[in-house]
Amino acid sequence: MGTANDSSKDISDRLAEKHPKVVFVLGGPGSGKGTQCEKIVQHFGYTHLSAGDLLRAEKNSGSENGIMIQNMMNEGKIVPSEVTIKLLQKAMLESGNDKFLIDGFPRNEENRAAFEAVVRLCLSHFFDAAKIEPEFVLYFNCPEKEMERRILNRNQGREDDNIETIRKRFKVFLESSLPVIEYYKGKGKVREIDAAKPVEEVPL
Ligand SMILES: Nc1ncnc2c1ncn2[C@@H]1O[C@H](COP(=O)(O)OP(=O)(O)OP(=O)(O)O)[C@@H](O)[C@H]1O
Ligand SMILES: Nc1ccn([C@@H]2O[C@H](COP(=O)(O)O)[C@@H](O)[C@H]2O)c(=O)n1
Ligand SMILES: [Mg+2]
C-alpha cells in the first residue's frame, strides 16, 4: 500500500513493474460508461476505475484539493491532470489487477498529454519501450437529448446532475473531449459503440 509521501517517480516505478493494460472508456455525460463498465468487468476481468468517482471520493475525503475539485465539478470543468493522474495511479497500484478500464479519462488534450508523459516515464525503464497508447478506446456514442434524459433521471445525489451544470458538461465534452476521441480515431484505436440502445442491448 502506498503512503501520502510517495513521490511521482516511486509510483511510476511500481506501476511499471505491473505492466498494466489500459482501455480508455469515453463518451458524453450520461452515455452509460459506468453502467456498461460494470458489465465488462463481470465478463472480461478488468478493474473499473472511474476518474469522476475517484475525484468525488478525494473531494469527500477532506483533502487539501477538496474545495478546488468541488468548484471545478460544479462548473463541469476538467480538474488539472496532475491531481487526476495521481488518483488513477494510486488506485491502479492498490488493485491486485493489471487490466484497467479507465472511465472518463483522458477528458481533454491536457489529460492525454499528461498520461503520455507518465507512461513514457514508466516505459523508460524497459528496453522494449514501444507503446505509449492504450490497448484501445471504447467510445460510447449517444445523442445529447438521451444523455440529458438519463442524467436527469439518475437520482444518485450527484451535485453536478442539474440542468445548468449538465449543459456546461455537454459543452466541455464537445469542445475538449471529442478532440481526444478524434486523436485516437486517427491512430485506429477507437471502437465506437451505439450507446443509445437499452442497457442490455448495447453491443460490447
Ligand atoms: N442504455 C441505457 N439506457 C437507458 N438508461 C441507461 C442506459 N445506460 C445507462 N443508463 C442510465 O443512465 C444514467 C447514466 O448512466 P451512467 O452513470 O452509466 O453514465 P455515465 O456515462 O457514467 O455518466 P457520467 O459521465 O455522468 O458519469 C444512469 O441512471 C443509468 O442507469
Ligand atoms: N478526467 C476527468 C474526469 C472527470 N472530471 C470531473 O468530474 C466530473 C464528473 O465526471 P464523470 O465522469 O463522473 O461524469 C466532470 O464533469 C469533471 O468536472 C475531471 O475533471 N477530469
Ligand atoms: Mg460515470
| Domains of the chain by residue range | 8-196
The whole-number average pLDDT for the span 6-32 is 85
Ordered alpha helix ranges (H), 4-143: 8-18, 33-44, 51-60, 66-74, 81-94, 109-123
Summarize the annotated binding site for CMP as residue ranges. Answer: 111
Element (H, E) at 139: strand 136-141
Cell of 72: 471545478
pLDDT at position 47, please?
97
Q: Does pLDDT of 132 surpass 90?
A: no
Q: For residue range 53-70, what is the model confidence (pLDDT) as tens digits? A: 999 999 999 999 999 999
- CATH entry 3.40.50.300 includes domain 8-196: yes
Binding-site residues for ATP sit at 30-35, 154, 197
Average predicted confidence (pLDDT) for the chain: 92
- As a whole number of angstroms, the distance between CA 3 and CA 97 comes to 19
Q: Are the CB atoms for 203 and 150 separated by under 8 Å?
A: no
Q: Give the mean model confidence (pLDDT) for residues 18-42.
A: 95
pLDDT at 103: 98
* Widest pairwise Cα distance in the chain: 50
Predicted structure pTM score: 0.94
Q: Which amino acid residue places its CA nearest to atom 1 of ligand 2?
A: 105
Confidence class for position 124, pLDDT limits 50, 70, 90: low
**Per-residue model confidence (pLDDT) at position 7:** 72
Q: Which ligand is nearest to the CA of 32?
A: 1
Report the pLDDT value the prediction gives residue 6, as an integer from 0 to 100.
Answer: 63
For residue 3, the model assigns a pLDDT of 46
Model pLDDT, residue 129? 43
| Ligand 2 near 73 CB (within 6 A) | yes
- ipTM above 0.90? yes
Q: How many CB atoms lie within 10 A of CB 176?
A: 17
Average pLDDT over residues 5-25: 79
User: Per residue, what are the HEC states of 39-52?
Assistant: HHHHHHCCEEEEHH
Rank 92-101, 129-138, 139-148 by mean pLDDT and report only the highest: 139-148
- d(CA 33, ligand 1 centre) in Å: 7
Interval 30-45 mean pLDDT:
97
Query: Rounded mean pLDDT of 30-58?
Result: 97
Is the CB of residue 113 less than 8 Å from the CB of residue 44?
Answer: no
pLDDT band at 2 (very low <50, low <70, confident <90, very high): very low
